Chain A
Amino acid sequence: IGLACDRGYNPDAVAAMSPAGCPHVSSFKVDNWKQNLRVIYQCFVWSGSAETRKRKAKSCICHMCGAHLNRLHSCLYCVFFACFAKKHIHEHAKSKRHNLAIDLLYGGIYCFMCQDYIYDKDMEQIAKEEQRKAWKMQGMPHYTALVISPRQHSTGEKYSTWEPTKRELELLRHNPKRRRITSNCTIGLRGLINLGNTCFMNCIVQALTHTPLLRDFFLSDRHKCEMQSNSCLVCEMSQLFQEFYSGHRSPHIPFRLLHLVWTHARHLAGYEQQDAHEFLIAALDVLHRHCKDDNGKKANNPNHCNCIIDQIFTGGLQSDVTCQVCHGVSTTIDPFWDISLDLPGSSTPFWPLSPGGDGSALNGESHATGATTLTDCLRRFTRPEHLGSSAKIKCSGCHSYQESTKQLTMKKLPIVACFHLKRFEHSAKLRRKITTYVSFPLELDMTPFMASSKESRMNGQYQLAVDPFNNDNKYSLFAVVNHQGTLESGHYTTFIRQHKDQWFKCDDAIITKASIKDVLDSEG
Chain B
Amino acid sequence: MSKESRMKATVNQKLTEMGERERLKELLRAKLTECGWKDQMKAHCKEVIKEKGLEQITVEDLVVEVTPKGRALVPDSVKKELLHRIRTFLSQHGT
Tell me the A residues contacting B by CB distance below 8 Å. 14, 47, 50, 53-54, 56-58, 60-61, 66-69, 108, 115-117, 138, 140-144, 146-147, 152, 469
Contact = CB atoms under 8 A, between A and B. Distances in A.
21 contacts: A50-B19, A53-B16, A53-B17, A53-B18, A56-B16, A57-B12, A57-B16, A58-B13, A60-B16, A67-B5, A117-B59, A138-B22, A140-B26, A141-B23, A142-B23, A143-B30, A144-B27, A144-B31, A152-B30, A469-B81, A469-B84
Interface of B: 1, 5, 8-9, 12-14, 16-19, 22-23, 26-27, 30-31, 34, 55, 58-60, 81, 84-85
A138 B19 contact: yes
Mostly helix, strand, loop or mixed at chain A's interface?
Answer: loop
Nearest to B12: A68
Nearest to A110: B59
Contacts of A53: 16-19
Contacts of B17: 50, 53-54, 57
A147 B77 CA distance: 13
Contacts, number: 57
The 8 closest A-B pairs by CB, nearest first: A57-B16, A116-B58, A57-B13, A57-B17, A117-B59, A141-B26, A68-B12, A68-B9
A116 B30 contact: no
Contacts of B12: 57, 68-69
A17 to B, nearest CB: 9
B55 A14 contact: yes
A378 B41 CA distance: 42
B85 A469 contact: yes
A146 B34 contact: yes
B26 A143 contact: yes
Contacts of A58: 13
Contacts of A138: 19, 22
A66 B58 contact: no
A70 B34 CA distance: 26
A105 B26 CA distance: 13
Given A117-B58, A144-B31, 12 more contacts: A50-B17, A57-B14, A61-B9, A66-B1, A69-B8, A116-B58, A116-B59, A144-B27, A144-B30, A146-B30, A469-B84, A469-B85
